[in-house]
Chain A
């Protein structure tokens, strides 16, 4: 019986250990999107623009928007 109570008490006391640590330090600064993805995920970057080049990134998005969502470019 004692062991059961002890096990229950330990389970309750250690329940908080499963929570992820919070780093509440106000709003963090975000890396601008035009800096692109580096490292493992960089293979998913769309081709045709250079990472860190803001003008090229903006042009890439505008071109993608026109080509992908403005069908009047193709039908007319």
Chain B
């Protein structure tokens, strides 16, 4: 009897869970369905006026064709996507390095005024992004860094500081004996760091890389102010805004092109997220603690 009641409860619980998950999945997906439908339409609209618009009668590839084939004085959408990928990957790599080095230092090394420094750095990032945009432009203009290097430098601290703290926790969980053994075997401290710590703290590496990549990949404001004069160096976001007519309010924005571009840009991003799913779901496991 008890077992049967247990079974019924279990089935109810699972059913309830599946229903909620399916509803939430629908909630998560339906705006994206819209994006897809808009990208396959030939009229630039965001509001479908009748329910029958939900299922399109025709699928037009005009938006995609326009994006892929148009050439703008040396720049084109595929070129810009390539630029974006390069920029975002570099930002991801540098963010990872920075976050892990700092996390390692916070965890293992004895640095003077470590606590104050760490708290101070954390609090300084509370300053809003919109207020830093103009001073950054002026600063980088002075140093002639209004290019990719400047952009990468501008993007990294955002993710790195936050990721450094997560990395510190993760490295705390790795016993220092591992590195000590390696150092006895002849590796330098930095070598031990690279080989052992990076590998064991992989979830945090994945999370930082993804956050850094996404931030740089999708950013418009800073990239626009830095890179505007060189069409060939534009990122995909700038190029997309331009080709969809969103930069000039005097011309009609074409949201089907905008949606198509977002789909093209979003596919590698979504793939990245899904592939590193397993690692991301482990990145925060050191944050939980059983101590009360």
A and B interact physically: no
Please report B residues at the A interface, Cβ cutoff 8 Å. none
